[in-house]
Amino acid sequence: MSLTKRGDESTSYLEPVRERHATLVDLLDRVLDKGVVLHADIIVSVAGIPLIGVTLRAALAGMETMLKYGMMEAWDESIRSWETNYRKLKQRDFLKNDQVILDTLGAHFYKKGIYAAWRYGHFYLTDNTLFLYHETYDEVLLKIDLAQIRGMVVRSEKSFTNRTCEVLYVIVDNEKVHRLRSRDVHTLKNTIATFVADNGTYTGADLVIPEYEDSIATILADGEEVTHRGRLWHLYEENAAGSIANTTWRPGKLYLTNRRLCWWYQTESKFLLDIPIESICGCYEDEKSWSLFKQDTPVLDLVYEQDSVKRVASFSGQGVEDWREAIQSAINQNGTQPVRAKESCPKCNQLSDIEHLLNKGCSHCGWMSARMQRKALGAPV
């Protein structure tokens, strides 16, 4: 965008504009809102904007927003009723003549291609359908036929930002799962439940949710089962051609099956890691700095072999300790004893067993990890 001024115009000073189209809105501002108002009972259209103004303004000045925020409270009755009717018209359009039993703000999780997000709107529950409606766009975002609901359950979930929120899972006929949020999901669930009780809908807390659009389901082999899953960050190394290697923490999901460990990269919707359990040499808890502001974060370091090269994959997030145990027991169950991975001491460069090096220190030169040093000082680790 350019900031160039219009140059020195021929006029010695700014001339006021009175071009018809450029100023119609300016005129309306004045003619409709201002001017002498008569305060007498002999007048036909009294104070406030006459009805006529509304129609015109709606077309010209984005009136809807003004209506919504009640910026013009001094309207006379006729205008207020016009507005009410207008709203009714808009909202009840999809509801037909059904009575609204519950009406609350909420959201549903929407996923299509690479787009995935909570879409917010207004839940309207009738005795046969649940609607999620977006008023501004006048769009029904979600429509669930109550007769098709097979089960419902509320789960407390943690998001990546570590905020806990309650999510209502609604499972419908074709095993499709809807994730819904609302101000009070329990009320929503219970109200729906009163209408679907006769349909054999299961609402117990132990309801098993078919994995919600679970990415792992697409790559599972016969007899393969997910034993552990969770949201974990992965220290991902970007190795674009011609550029310097750049490692950053990326959000995703870690899955442990009875055969392998996979990490799903949320942003690009694909698996970036797929490691057979027999290739895993071991896993360790460690601390790494996340950034300038977040030091000493517990991380899970996984040593594995790929193409005869040992590699390390780092994960961070909730329950790192549980993950270490889960992976460890998966390795043990696999029959193969964990390969005692060797690593060179950062100080003297002598090869030692990794676990020994990290937990006991280097037996050659006495090097200790930062974590051990702190432990030795009695500081919390």
* Contact residues for another protein, defined by CB under 8 A: 1, 3, 5, 13-18, 20, 22-24, 26-38, 40, 42-45, 50-53, 55-56, 59-60, 62, 160, 248-251, 290-294
Q: How wide is the angle at C-alpha 214 spanned by C-alphas 327 and 216, nearest 5°? A: 45
| Residue with Cβ nearer another protein (1 or 208) | 1
**Min CB(294)–another protein separation in Å:** 7
Q: Which of 189, 197, 143 is nearest to 166 (CA)?
A: 189
| Residue with Cβ nearer another protein (48 or 361) | 48
**Residue 271 CA, distance from chain mean position:** 19
| Residue with Cβ nearer another protein (52 or 197) | 52
Non-local CB neighbours of 278 within 8 Å, separated by 6+ positions: 334, 336
**Min CB(139)–another protein separation in Å:** 23
| Residue with Cβ nearer another protein (44 or 379) | 44
Is the CB of residue 102 less than 8 Å from the CB of residue 123? yes
**Min CB(26)–another protein separation in Å:** 5
Q: Residue type for 324, please?
A: R
Is the CB of residue 276 less than 8 Å from the CB of residue 289? no
| Residue with Cβ nearer another protein (34 or 96) | 34
| Residue with Cβ nearer another protein (127 or 268) | 268
**Min CB(314)–another protein separation in Å:** 13
**Min CB(178)–another protein separation in Å:** 28
C-alpha pair distances (Å), 21 with each of 15, 52, 63, 132, 256: 17, 20, 19, 41, 67
C-alpha pair distances (Å), 25 with each of 30, 52, 64, 125: 9, 15, 16, 41
Q: What is the rounded CA–CA span in Å between residue 314 and residue 185?
A: 36
**Min CB(155)–another protein separation in Å:** 24
